[in-house]
Each structure stands twice: as C-alpha cells, then as structure tokens.
C-alpha cells in the first residue's frame, strides 16, 4: 500500500510539473502575440518603405527604433489593441504616445507626431487600426523630414511606461506589411 501511494504521488508531481511547463509555454506565446498580430502603423506601407535602423547610432545613442518617412499629417494607427498609457511631450521625441498591449507585456512607442487624434487621452482603450495621431517632425526631428519614429519595448515587471527592453520592430513590421498584401 505504501509503495502504491508513493507511486501515485510521483505521478501527481509529474502531472503538476507538466501542467506548469505547458502554462509557461502558453503564457510565453501569449506574451509575444501582440507583436505577431501587429498591423502597420501607416496604411499602404510596402516593404520598401521600411529600413532596419534599430542598431544604428542617432544623436550619440543606439536608435532602437525604426523611422517611417511619410508626409506631415499622415494618419498613424495603433498597431495592436490596448491602452494609451502616456501622452508625453519630450525634447527628443516631441509629441509621443506610449501604448501598452492588452497583456501589459509590450509598450508601443510612437514619436515625432504632429498631433494626437482629437479626444485621445491617457487610459483610453484603442483597437488595432484606430487612428491615434499624425506624422510630424516634433522634438529633435528635422522639420524637413516628417516621419514616425516607432519603437517596441518589453516592459519590466513594474510596468513603467518609461522602462523596458528594446525590441527590434523591423521584423514585426515586415510581417505586418506582408500580411496586408
């Protein structure tokens, strides 16, 4: 009898470990799903419009973003569904938007905007594809070269909009553009 209950406990433990591993894998997949489900931030983009500038140095620091050149006033769309976490006017980024995805794992950063869409405010939920702002050249951008500075950050456990690990947006944007074709 003792042997059987010991064996049963071992089976239960193995089952628990398998469940934990499976849940971890599912959570990890869910954490990346917002990047995999991105839509382009600008309608009509083609792959030739995208250039991987993530590793370049701009103004003395790593760029860690992609710049998408478009005419001033071009609508900028939310790339995923989520919440506007912060609207911020900064010296380097100008008019910026920090958007968290639905899981709070990733932050999508839109900078150098000419302006926000009317009624946009912190805490507002947006759906993928909603217009959230307009291309500009605010902040340290050259006024003659309006563009969208787009970045993705994997948030730290504290979920602070200004902290996170930079993720190269180029591969996800290429995938998003290819899916729209």
Range of the domain at 128: 37-180
Q: Is residue 151 within a helix (H) or strand (E), and if so which, with residue range?
A: strand 147-155
7 falls within a domain: no
Q: Is 11 a member of any domain?
A: no
- Does residue 150 fall inside a structural domain? yes
In a domain, 175, yes or no: yes
Which segments of the chain does DSSP mark as H helices, in order?
Answer: 2-36, 170-180
CATH number for the domain including 166?
2.70.70.10
Domain presence at residue 108: yes
User: Is 29 within a domain?
Assistant: no
Asked, for residue 31, whether it belongs to a domain, the answer is no
Give pLDDT, residue 13: 52
Contact 71, 83 (CB under 8 A): no
Q: Which of 73, 143, 145, 139 is nearest to 111 (CA)?
A: 139
Whole-number pLDDT of residue 6: 47
Taking alpha carbons only, the member of 57, 116, 60 closest to residue 89 is: 116
The pTM score is: 0.81
Task: Identify the pLDDT of residue 10.
Answer: 59
Please tell me the total count of domains within the chain.
1
In order along its 181 residues, the chain shows pLDDT tens digits of 545 444 455 555 554 445 444 434 434 444 455 888 999 999 999 999 999 999 988 878 888 999 999 999 999 999 999 999 999 999 999 999 999 999 999 999 999 999 999 999 999 999 999 999 999 999 999 999 999 999 999 998 888 887 899 999 999 999 999 998 7
Task: Quote the pLDDT of residue 9.
Answer: 57
| Residue at 20 is within a domain | no
């Amino acid at each position: 009898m003792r042997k059987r209950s010991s064996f049963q406990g071992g089976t239960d433990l193995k089952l628990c470990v398998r469940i934990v591993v499976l849940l971890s894998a599912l959570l990890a997949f869910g954490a990346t799903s917002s990047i995999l489900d991105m839509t382009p931030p600008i309608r009509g983009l083609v792959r030739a419009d995208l250039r991987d500038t993530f590793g370049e140095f701009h103004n003395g620091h790593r760029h860690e973003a992609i710049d998408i050149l478009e005419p001033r006033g071009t609508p900028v769309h939310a790339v995923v569904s989520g919440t506007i976490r912060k609207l911020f006017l900064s010296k380097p980024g100008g008019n910026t938007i920090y958007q968290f995805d639905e899981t709070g794992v990733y932050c999508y950063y839109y900078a150098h905007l000419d302006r926000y869409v009317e009624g946009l405010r912190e805490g507002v939920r947006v759906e993928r594809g909603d217009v959230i702002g307009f291309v500009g050249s605010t902040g340290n951008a050259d006024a003659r070269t309006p563009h969208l500075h787009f970045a993705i950050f994997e948030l730290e456990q504290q979920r602070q909009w200004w902290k996170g690990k930079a993720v190269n947006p180029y591969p996800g944007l290429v995938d998003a553009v290819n899916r729209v074709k």
